[in-house]
Structure 1
Amino acid sequence: MGVPDRCLSLTVRADWGHFRRVDRTVTKQTYRLPPRTTIAGMLAAMVGSSRDSYYEMFAPEVSAIAIEPLGTIRTITEPMLGLSTNPDEHFENAGGTGQKTVKASYPDSTSNRQLHSYELLVDPAYRIDVAVEDEEFYRALAHRLKTGTTHYPLSMGLSEYLAWIEFHGERTVEVCDDEVVKVDSAVPGGVESVVPHEGVRTHVERMPSFMEADERGRRTTGFDDYTFTTDDSAISVRSGSVVPSQISDRSVIFG
């Protein structure tokens, strides 16, 4: 797709957020930005797409997404107790026979609790600009955003961190051709294009970007390095290696 002609612009917010890093095990650390795959899943949930059905619509050649953190990115670490979900362990049943009444299965809550440290995002908010070539999906998403409805509840990573959406409308996209451009969004795959400035601290995270369905359900097919700031500063980039785009009074980079 490259640079789209139009995009849908929205802000997603929550009180808490957690996007678990795939390269961590014991400590549940979070990405500072929602990975592109997470955003694709969130938008598909709004439309009502079934699991593993939407990956091709967000493939790199037919979609474009810009991610802009709003405000300061802040995290805290919270210890949490959890129950084991090992299917080989003993489970008890409650709620009737399961034929005419609801039957629930649950693990023994008196043992096997596990203590994990979760790194949580505090008041996370992100401006998302999204374009897809699939016209049916694009229009369905636009309708959901305009009416303020979703097919499935939205969350900021974990299901208990419910999120809400603010729709900014459909935007026209123009290419910025200045030699150096200040952008508000994170810069995907553009570490070398960032121009350092005194007082502007940049961070880089490698995150999953693309997925595809396979016989086991899904698998990650691509990762990307995203450069961003955690203090609501703009990033200066050389436009020779990336393609900045102008949207209203903001400049972003689609990935």
Structure 2
Amino acid sequence: MSPQIDADGIPDRCLSFTVSSTWGHFKRVGRTVTKQTYRIPPRTTVAGMLAAIVGAERNSYYETFGEDNAAIAITPESDLRTINIPTTGLGTDPDQDVTTTAKKRRNYSLTYQETTGDRQLHAYEVLADPSYRIDVALEDEEFYQKLHDHLEAGTSVYPPSLGKSEYLATIENVQAGQEPEPASSSGPYDIDSIVPIELADAIPQGGVAYESERSPAVMERHQGGRRTTRFDDYVFTRRSDGTVKTDAGTDVKPVSVGNRIVVFR
């Protein structure tokens, strides 16, 4: 049976795994010239990666990862380092058609865009050796069981990646049936995962630098495509051994998964 998620967004059990790659890039919304990256994969990106593993069709899985029937926690397991990589690319020509002309005996003649023009230089900001621990619970029983079986077997329909398709990812340390338990203390909490709070709600710590991001969290079908219906603000630390300290007075519900304190969203 699939996990059940209570009114606070806490599941009775979850799947846990580590995903890592040599490089990662999660394009920031609204950036055009410099290809900047989120430090943490957006919740929608994690949903897309899991959909690729089970082979879900495009635009078919948004309800599976809705606000009330999915819970995801993301914990950085590596220091979040970025570097800039200059990349040359060819601009698209709006007057150029890419056509396919069918001929007899299944032979095809392809016409491509002219590629002898000048290239454009763009700087891609990429994550170096990123690694994240993902805890996920889904009330969609069929999707959850497929995901469980693929993770346990180490298989996937489409290869998972961290952002760009060429940044192929490795999935390791899979644990099924993890049972989140309420954090034992009454606060303040030292939370290992990213925390969906405002920066002002994090308690300062000596030697620990906080950062915050705002990224897409939930999507829905819209006019044959998709649109984002919720953005999340969250706080994290760049160091893998850092934690976010927050008081019990915030709306977050920390839980213990294994030896980590995480917050689902």
TMscore range, shorter length: over 0.9
Shift of 1:164: 1.2
Separation in structure 1 between the aligned mates of residue 131 and residue 104 of structure 2, nearest angstrom: 42
In terms of mean alpha carbon deviation, does 11-20 or 237-246 score higher? 237-246
1:73 and 2:69 are equivalent in the alignment = no
Contact 1:81 1:114 in 2 (8 A): yes
Match of 1:165 in 2: 171
Match of 1:143 in 2: 149
Q: Residue deviations 1:120-173, cap 9 Å, x none?
A: 111111110001111111111000000000011111101111111114212111
Match of 2:16 in 1: 9
Match of 1:30 in 2: 37
**What residue identity is the alignment partner of 1:249?**
N
Separation in structure 2 between the aligned mates of residue 103 and residue 197 of structure 1, nearest angstrom: 64
Separation in structure 2 between the aligned mates of residue 245 and residue 211 of structure 1, nearest angstrom: 26
Contact 1:145 1:167 in 2 (8 A): no
Q: Which has the higher strand share?
A: 1
Give the TM-score normalised by structure 1.
Answer: 0.93
Separation in structure 2 between the aligned mates of residue 50 and residue 98 of structure 1, nearest angstrom: 32
Contact 1:91 1:108 in 2 (8 A): no
Q: Residue deviations 1:91-121, cap 9 Å, x none?
A: 5879x85961355553222104221111011
Separation in structure 1 between the aligned mates of residue 22 and residue 134 of structure 2, nearest angstrom: 18
**What residue identity is the alignment partner of 1:197?**
Q
Trace 1:1-255 onto structure 2 (pairs within 5 A). Answer: 1=5, 2-89=9-96, 97=103, 100-101=106-107, 104-170=110-176, 171-178=178-185, 179-232=187-240, 233-241=242-250, 242-255=252-265
Contact 2:82 2:126 in 1 (8 A): yes
Summarize the Cα distance change of 1:230–1:104 in structure 2 as closer, same or farther, 3 Å threshold. Answer: farther
Shift of 1:180: 1.2
Contact 2:152 2:174 in 1 (8 A): no
Shift of 1:89: 2.6
Q: Percent identity?
A: 49
Give 3-state SS (helix, strand or coil) of 1:195's partner: coil
Separation in structure 2 between the aligned mates of residue 103 and residue 10 of structure 1, nearest angstrom: 45
In terms of mean alpha carbon deviation, does 182-191 or 69-78 score higher? 182-191
Contact 1:19 1:158 in 2 (8 A): yes
Summarize the Cα distance change of 1:151–1:181 in structure 2 as closer, same or farther, 3 Å threshold. Answer: same
Gaps of 5+ in 2: none
Gaps of 5+ in 1: none
Contact 2:93 2:113 in 1 (8 A): no
Summarize the Cα distance change of 1:93–1:110 in structure 2 as closer, same or farther, 3 Å threshold. Answer: farther
Separation in structure 2 between the aligned mates of residue 165 and residue 46 of structure 1, nearest angstrom: 11
Shift of 1:181: 1.4
Separation in structure 2 between the aligned mates of residue 105 and residue 186 of structure 1, nearest angstrom: 47
Summarize the Cα distance change of 1:198–1:9 in structure 2 as closer, same or farther, 3 Å threshold. Answer: same
Separation in structure 2 between the aligned mates of residue 89 and residue 161 of structure 1, nearest angstrom: 29
Separation in structure 2 between the aligned mates of residue 71 and residue 102 of structure 1, nearest angstrom: 48
Runs of 4+ in 1 over 4 A off after TM superposition: 90-94, 96-99, 102-105
Give the TM-score normalised by structure 2.
Answer: 0.90
